[in-house]
Chain A
Amino acid sequence: MPSNPIDSAARATPEPVARKIRGLSDRAIAWLFVAPTIFLLLAINIFPLIWTIRLSFTNFRANRPNREVEWVGLRNYERILTDSDIWLTMQATAHFLFWTIFFQVLIGFTLAWLINRKFRGNDLWTTIIVLPMMLSPAVVGNFWTFLYQPQIGLFNYVVSFFTGVDPSSFEMLGSVTLAPWSIVIVDTWMWTPFVMLICLAGLRSIPDYIYEAAEIDRASKLRQFFTITLPMVLPFLMLAVLFRGIENFKMFDLVVQLTGGGPGSITEVTSINLKREAFEKWRTGYASAYAIILFVTVFGLASIYVKALNKVKQR
């Protein structure tokens, strides 16, 4: 590797001097290496966060640069926390969160357990199941609106094929009762593989000798499942739930493409609501307070959850 300029410079320079030039102290190198990352995070994460906090106490509007900005104290927070429409939004989010996690854990764990039977070709089929989670939710979500079309859509057709219901008789995206489920279905389709992979890692981490010991103790398979498999996988499962919980709390692209929050405001999850406040109504100050509330909520819930998770792990 003689072409490297540092190398050639090194060879041409007497050893002690060279050490001084190239051989920065470990401390200096550490800072040199970390500094750009920290700087970037300060500029694009921390500084904006502080700015958001500041804005949340004002009535600033990004679309009205000429208007005088006033301090409004905690008024934005007060308005959000007492707004009944926002509570409906939270309910829509909770419905979405609960059911997506429920189905993903159920199906994801089952699949992982089945795949762990180590049948032939399992890694290829695993990869195929994983495909949806690698794809762009906006692009895929947009196409799902086509699959959900009454009559011509594939989804309605398949449902009618198996149940005999007329495919034009139900509208997944337009009906008040079905729309919340339409987004749960697509999210489950997309993200079950994530839960599955983590469960699989958990299952594979259980050493064989534990089962062997149980077998010697003549524990039944069912008992083994509840006393060995489930408790050993539980920390992994809880982790998967944490990640899905955070991701689905942020959910925007998929739902915006599928229902846009409709019909009415039935599927208006927090991100869509926040987007309307911030980038359609341009109530920047108000939306900033909203953002801070969401951030504190996620952070708080996640911290409590992580504490619980650590307790489970320690057992």
Chain B
Amino acid sequence: MSGYSVTEPSPRQKWIAGALVIGYAVITILPLVWILITGFKSPSDSISYPPKVFFEPTLEGYVNLFTTRTRVSPETLESLPPPETWYDEIVRRNDLVIAGPSRYGERFLNSIVIGFGSTFLSIFLGTLAAYAFSRFKVPLKDDLLFFILSTRMMPPIAVAIPIFLMFRQLGLSDTHLGMILLYTAVNISLAVWLLKGFIDEIPLEYEEAALIDGYTRFQAFYKVVLPQAATGIASTAIFCLIFAWNEYAFAVLLTSGTAQTAPPFIPTIIGVGGQDWPAVAAGATLFLLPVMVFTILLRKHLLRGITFGAVRK
């Protein structure tokens, strides 16, 4: 950049600012790095003092995450045929045998089904409603919009009281459908709010031109407005997905097994005789990693979305 600008900081300023921010970023990332590496430690390495930074990596934590194991006597262990797979071998080293798969896979799948199901539904309904709020005169529009947003102010535990009773009556307790509907209801307020902003930005002229060309409202909506709003819809979808993916309070109160998602499950992972931190770390890593990768890849849209949602109000 040539010439003097009052708003352009000096190189020295930049250097100091950069160093401070990077320092903070390193502190921030440390716990996350620790989760990642603990997943590859053996249980004894994970609880050693002082905490080990260098260690021999093992997949024991991941094996423990996906299996249930039982302790057998050394004699029984001797009598067993030699281990067939690498994970059998890891387990046998601790005088254990694999008793079966753990529930982690199922819980993870539940997270995917409920997360994507509710996201799809929120976006589908949210786009329609946002379009209507943006383009048409809806009676009591402002009140409705404010009301939609205010539903997010309630503590989830308070909302869960009547939902618990309602789901019990309707047989929706611990079902995927129940959780999808609930997360949709929670997410839709944010979805409508964000999407209305995106649709507001699309010039009215495009649709008017389409209407003059003989398009119906429907056609104008899905042929003109939707493609224009695609980026906005995508980033809204990611917010909805992240909410549903991370949600804990409703999941812990309204599901017990069939539809339980990963967040209430991961903290209950325990080992054979004692807390198994590597397995917990492995479970956490697999669960958190997709979100981290998403965040880094889509940072431009995501970061804008966060402030956009907040600042527009």
Residues of B within 8 A of A288 (CB): 161-162
Taking a contact as CB atoms under 8 Å apart, the answer to whether B295 and A119 are in contact is no
Q: Which residues from 192 to 215 on chain A have a C-beta closer than 8 Å to any C-beta of chain B?
A: 193-194, 197-198, 200-201, 208, 211-212, 215
**Would you call B155 an interface residue if the criterion is a C-beta within 8 Å of the partner chain's C-beta atoms?**
yes
CA A184 – CA B207 in complex, angstroms? Answer: 50
Taking a contact as CB atoms under 8 Å apart, the answer to whether A6 and B219 are in contact is yes
| Choice from A6, A37, A240, A249 contacting B155 with Cβ under 8 Å | A249
CA A132 – CA B156 in complex, angstroms? Answer: 21
Taking a contact as CB atoms under 8 Å apart, the answer to whether A119 and B15 are in contact is yes
In the complex, which of the residues A29, A136, A200, A302 has the most CB atoms of chain B within 10 Å of its own CB atom?
A136
Taking a contact as CB atoms under 8 Å apart, the answer to whether A40 and B184 are in contact is yes
Q: Which residues from 2 to 19 on chain B have a C-beta closer than 8 Å to any C-beta of chain A?
A: 5-9, 13-15, 17-18
In chain B, what residue has the closest Cβ to A189?
B28
**Would you call B90 an interface residue if the criterion is a C-beta within 8 Å of the partner chain's C-beta atoms?**
no
Taking a contact as CB atoms under 8 Å apart, the answer to whether B157 and A278 are in contact is yes
**Would you call B288 an interface residue if the criterion is a C-beta within 8 Å of the partner chain's C-beta atoms?**
yes
CA A130 – CA B161 in complex, angstroms? Answer: 33
Taking a contact as CB atoms under 8 Å apart, the answer to whether A146 and B277 are in contact is yes
Residues of A within 8 A of B302 (CB): 130, 134
Taking a contact as CB atoms under 8 Å apart, the answer to whether A131 and B292 are in contact is yes
Beyond A131-B292, A134-B292, whether A298 also contacts B281 by CB under 8 A is: no
Residues of A within 8 A of B99 (CB): none
**Would you call A291 an interface residue if the criterion is a C-beta within 8 Å of the partner chain's C-beta atoms?**
yes
In chain B, what residue has the closest Cβ to A156?
B51
| Choice from A22, A62, A129, A215 contacting B24 with Cβ under 8 Å | A129
Taking a contact as CB atoms under 8 Å apart, the answer to whether A136 and B248 are in contact is yes
Residues of A within 8 A of B306 (CB): 194, 197-198
Residues of A within 8 A of B24 (CB): 107, 111, 129
In chain B, what residue has the closest Cβ to A290?
B158
Residues of B within 8 A of A302 (CB): 153
Beyond A136-B248, A142-B266, A151-B49, whether A117 also contacts B7 by CB under 8 A is: no
**Would you call A26 an interface residue if the criterion is a C-beta within 8 Å of the partner chain's C-beta atoms?**
yes
Taking a contact as CB atoms under 8 Å apart, the answer to whether B217 and A29 are in contact is yes
Among A84-92, A170-178, A268-276, the stretch in contact with B: A268-276
**Would you call A232 an interface residue if the criterion is a C-beta within 8 Å of the partner chain's C-beta atoms?**
no
CA A19 – CA B162 in complex, angstroms? Answer: 45
Number of interface residues of B (CB under 8 A): 106
Beyond A40-B181, A44-B182, A142-B266, whether A152 also contacts B287 by CB under 8 A is: no
Taking a contact as CB atoms under 8 Å apart, the answer to whether A48 and B159 are in contact is yes
| Choice from A36, A130, A215 contacting B295 with Cβ under 8 Å | A130
Taking a contact as CB atoms under 8 Å apart, the answer to whether A128 and B28 are in contact is yes
Residues of A within 8 A of B15 (CB): 119
| Choice from B136, B185, B283 contacting A40 with Cβ under 8 Å | B185
Beyond A45-B185, A132-B28, A211-B6, whether A29 also contacts B132 by CB under 8 A is: yes
Taking a contact as CB atoms under 8 Å apart, the answer to whether B34 and A154 are in contact is yes
Main secondary structure of the interface of B (DSSP, over half): helix
**Would you call B229 an interface residue if the criterion is a C-beta within 8 Å of the partner chain's C-beta atoms?**
no
Beyond A132-B28, A134-B242, A142-B266, whether A37 also contacts B129 by CB under 8 A is: yes
**Would you call B105 an interface residue if the criterion is a C-beta within 8 Å of the partner chain's C-beta atoms?**
no
CA A215 – CA B5 in complex, angstroms? Answer: 10
In chain A, what residue has the closest Cβ to B288?
A135
Among B57-65, B66-74, B81-89, B163-171, the stretch in contact with A: B163-171
Beyond A34-B129, A197-B307, whether A119 also contacts B219 by CB under 8 A is: no
Beyond A128-B28, A211-B6, A236-B311, whether A33 also contacts B267 by CB under 8 A is: no
Residues of A within 8 A of B248 (CB): 136-138, 252-253
Other contacts beyond A43-B185, A250-B153: 6, CB < 8 A: A19-B216, A26-B136, A34-B128, A119-B14, A137-B248, A143-B34
6 contacts between A and B (CB under 8 A): A6-B218, A48-B163, A135-B246, A136-B246, A143-B281, A154-B30
The 8 closest A-B pairs by CB, nearest first: A291-B158, A48-B162, A119-B18, A117-B17, A44-B185, A138-B248, A136-B246, A30-B136
Interface residues, chain A, CB within 8 Å of chain B?
A: 1, 6, 10, 15, 19, 22-24, 26-27, 29-34, 36-38, 40-41, 43-45, 47-49, 51-52, 55, 62, 107, 111, 114-115, 117-123, 125-132, 134-140, 142-144, 146-147, 149, 151-154, 157-158, 167, 189, 193-194, 197-198, 200-201, 208, 211-212, 215, 236, 239-240, 243, 246, 249-250, 252-253, 257, 270-271, 274-275, 278-279, 284, 287-288, 290-291, 294-295, 298-299, 302
